[in-house]
Amino acid sequence: MTGNQSLHGAMRETGLTQTELAGKVNTYLITAGYEGTVSDRTVRNWLTGRTTWPHPRQRAALEAVFGCTASGLGFSPPVRSRRISDPEEDPLRRRNFLAAAGGTTAAVTVPFVGAPPRVGTSDVLRLRSGLDELMALDDTRGGHEGLERAALAGATEALEKQKLGATQRIRLRLFSIAADYTATAAWSALDARQSDRAHVLLGKALYLSGMAQDPVAELRVWNSYAMLAHQRGEHREAVDSAQAAQATSITRRDPFFASLAHARTAIGHSNRGDRRAAIRSLGYAREALGKGDLTEPRPSWAAFYGPAELTAMTAIVRDRIGDFAEAEAASHQALGVIPEQFRRNRALATMRLALAQLHQRDIDQSCATASTAFALMKGAPLPGRIRSLMGDHYRDLITLAPDAAVAREWADRHRAEWSRL
């Protein structure tokens, strides 16, 4: 993502869409006696970086909406206009929020002697940035112990800072970040197939999302609960968890999240052998995603989802209900559009493709496809979910073609790669 990352982060934290932000800015301007002329395009220009220094009235409105300076929101004046101080800004307010754009200016913040430490938007943005970095690591390597430890450390810091929050709004945002960090730790355990630890962490994340009054974090937790139930073979509970995700309030406001919840429900139905319900839920997922605005700012954990991931999930559903040719086609389509940086997801889709080919008795092609998953994850240990799929492929292979030469060759390769990784 390029453009104004600080403004993207602030909008994500507050849950504001481009349209909603434009409305809030216009409300401020009209209340102050000016015309409300800010549009979606205006906000888009701020986000893309096309407008680097809004009009003074707009800057004042943005500062009021987000509770920090324009510089803290990623804006900067043209070089010719910069000066040491801005007479329109209150000096105390400027000093308190100077660090909002990042850690490089934090050293110049001078608190009052004897005053209690204050926590504000700059802390929220910094912690959110750290979470984004962890999610980028997860996209390439998958869940592992180091990621889980880092996520729990971030949750601990967010909870400590919320005790010092300058306002109730800041405290809620910090609870939300703690929920996301904890959910990230849970996800890492889930991806590594450490189901007991994932279950404990998801319980904590659900509690924190409630404390934060954050329906997006709550949906994330229920989505992970559904995946955990699948790992445990608890397919009725997987459907119930996915339907709990559907019931969160964010799905009524954002079709994107509704689509994810329906897609997860479809997988749950397919695991239970309910073909009609699975296909119906897939239809709901496609319909909802078609209504969603994929350009809206959303948490980094949700970046994996979109048309490509829905296609990959469709492949899972089709394979589980016995539509193997359709599953193979969907897997090919998903691999054609899953972004390169989602290395773990590409490896998972590759193994799904190999399974679909295997279930059609295309033994040679299936083994060749499965071999490429090792190359995709070269240089990193295999996450538990990929190992599990490779195990599924191996078991199905020796069941369907125990005497085939390619099956024996794959078995040797599988054992050698497994021990190496």
CA distances to 78, 156, 160, 249 from 255, rounded to whole Å, are 39, 32, 34, 11
Who has greater pLDDT, 289 or 338?
A: 289
DSSP reduced 3-state for 165: strand
What average pLDDT score do residues 7-24 get? 82
> Which phi and psi (to 5°) does residue 165 adopt?
-55, 135
Range among 108-122, 145-159, 308-322 with highest mean pLDDT value: 308-322
What average pLDDT score do residues 298-323 get? 92
| pLDDT (tens digit per residue) in 191-214 | 888 899 999 999 999 999 999 999
- Domains belonging to the chain, first-starting first, are 5-108 (1.10.260), 120-213 (no CATH)
| pLDDT (tens digit per residue) in 28-50 | 777 676 777 888 888 888 998 88
Distance CA 174, CA 302 (A): 19
Residue 256 confidence class, pLDDT cut points 50, 70, 90: very high
Range of weakest confidence among 140-154, 158-172, 354-368: 140-154
Per-residue pLDDT, 414: 64
Tell me: pLDDT of 259 over 80.
yes
Tell me: pLDDT of 321 over 90.
yes
Tell me: pLDDT of 267 over 50.
yes
Per-residue pLDDT, 395: 86
Distance CA 421, CA 416 (A): 9
231 Cβ contact partners less than 8 Å away, ≥ 6 residues apart: 190, 193, 195, 388
Tell me: pLDDT of 120 over 50.
yes
The tokens describing 269, both together, are 């139905």
Q: Structure pTM?
A: 0.68
Q: Looking at residue 88, what DSSP letter applies?
A: T
Residue 76 neighbours by CB distance under 10 Å: 13
Tell me: pLDDT of 106 over 60.
no
Tell me: pLDDT of 307 over 50.
yes
Distance CA 218, CA 212 (A): 9
Range of weakest confidence among 42-51, 74-83, 361-370: 74-83
